[in-house]
Structure 1
């Protein structure tokens, strides 16, 4: 992941949740900022790829806060990653996201928040957009779709990114998202690329698609600039 551009500070926030303490990785621009992006991890945990994305947001001028939903654990292989993801309750993750927003607001005095997540993080980013109306914008990448009763509550402008060759978030699921969005006139736009699941992850050459990733990043930046006061 490209790391060039403006300098940034890497910091940490302590978070207290009902199921225990955790931290958030913070990428803070050196120059003045007014808005923050909450970045949600893939099922691996807060690894270097997620820290690199946080740095890219700082280079765009945003405070980026990546709460550790696994409370310090990092998967070594896909089997462990799947087990960690399956053990993580949606309610726990949403609470941690809320705590990260509260801590960022009190520590850095930011008021406007967007959310972005990938894979499992996309699931939580979309769910948070349905559960946390204070968010100004959302950009979930190939995350799972909540049931209609949850999804219909969406009020946060959302850009959903999908891959047409994704076997997990497949065409049927994406079409279901579009149908519910149209039924309730939800503020959601779906962009699908001819790419695999996790196509944004440049540490996985077997699925990474540089062209799709670059275009998706451009679209997300346009989406966030439209709704965030930064």
Structure 2
């Protein structure tokens, strides 16, 4: 079924989906409330098809001939133990590459985030995309079950899993040792927290991520590039206090708020996707990593 254009969907539908995607609403309630917007030429089926992920929208395939992409495992002694991850880098790389840790949303390493990891590799980095659901069996093949599974894990233990991924990548024989992190939603919070907890982190790029408390902002060493959607009221509510703490502690940061963009605007598998904002944010992200990881 052809997806609806974002302009044809009531903005309240995106807020409804945001509540559902962030575990503030059960599936039955979500469908009941969504059905209220199935009016005129819109059907519940067309709305569901448009706002739920469609993983046929992959930009860089797993078997892309320009990349060497594989599944690896690494040790996370303070987190979940053994963690599986996608490791991807250009096949024609000459010498060592700077590294990027790619952090998923609140549903495990789904096809979209794995795709983002490969996009980072296409940009000339060695990337690691961990699956924090590994201790529970790994990403289950759909986001609904993935969200349910991720709720069973402690988020601070998952933070340790991604810090361990940083250590794995920093010490990898094909990495220069200069490593940054990019994360989305839950992964945005992880990116902010890695900036707090990892002194050697070279750069952090949170996409619409939750913010650390002001009292730990002084621990940040890495420069930050922060992306927000203008319509993302939930996440944006914490930004003024975070920015004030960054300024008071003389931290290096750049922040962009993308007009008329929703939470999740970078995810090209749902109708929340904003192509213009997503492309610009990714261009800025790659340029930021080139600036801070290749020096």
* TM-score above 0.5, yes or no: yes
Matched, 1:7 2:69: no
Q: Distance in 2 between matches of 1:70 and 1:168?
A: 25
User: Is the 8 Å Cα contact of residues 74 and 168 (structure 2) preserved in structure 1?
Assistant: yes
Q: Number of aligned pairs? A: 227
- Could you list the per-position Cα deviations for residues 152-177 of structure 1 after superposition, in whole angstroms to 9, with x for gaps in the alignment? 3111001011111013202x211122
Pair member with larger Rg: 2
Give yes or no for the alignment of 1:31 onto 2:92: yes
Change (3 A) 1:73 1:113: same
Matched, 1:197 2:263: yes
Of the structure 1 ranges 127-136 and 19-28, higher mean CA displacement relative to structure 2 is found in 19-28
How far the C-alpha of 1:6 sits from its partner, in A, is 7.2
Counterpart Cα distance in 2 of 1:84 and 1:179: 35
* Kept in 2: contact 1:10–1:27 (CA 8 A): yes
Say whether 1:128 aligns with 2:187: no
* SS of 1:204 mapped into structure 2: coil
Cα distance, 1:83 vs structure 2: 3.9
Match of 1:210 among 270, 275, 283: 275
Q: Is the 8 A contact 1:38 1:116 kept in 2?
A: yes
Picking from 18, 22, 34, the partner of 2:83 is 22
The 8 Å contact of residues 162 and 174 in structure 1, kept in 2 or not, is answered as no
Contact kept? 1:155, 1:186, Cα under 8 Å: yes
Listed as ranges, the gaps of 5+ residues in structure 2 are 1-57
Normalised TM-score (structure 2): 0.71
Measured against aligned partners, the alpha-carbon deviations of 1:195-226 in whole angstroms (never above 9, x if no partner) come to: 10000000012x10000001101111111111
Q: 2:160 and 2:174 mapped to 1: Cα distance?
A: 20
Q: Is the 8 A contact 2:110 2:143 kept in 1?
A: no
5+ residue gaps in structure 1? none
Other-structure match for 2:235: 169
CA contact (8 A) 1:13 1:103 kept: no
Distance in 1 (alpha carbons) for counterparts of 2:115 and 2:199: 27
TM-score of the pair, normalised by structure 1: 0.90
CA contact (8 A) 1:39 1:66 kept: yes
Q: Which residue of 1 aligns with 2:121?
A: 58
Judge conservation of contact 2:108–2:131 (CA < 8 Å) in 1: yes
Of 87, 105, 114, 2:152 maps to: 87
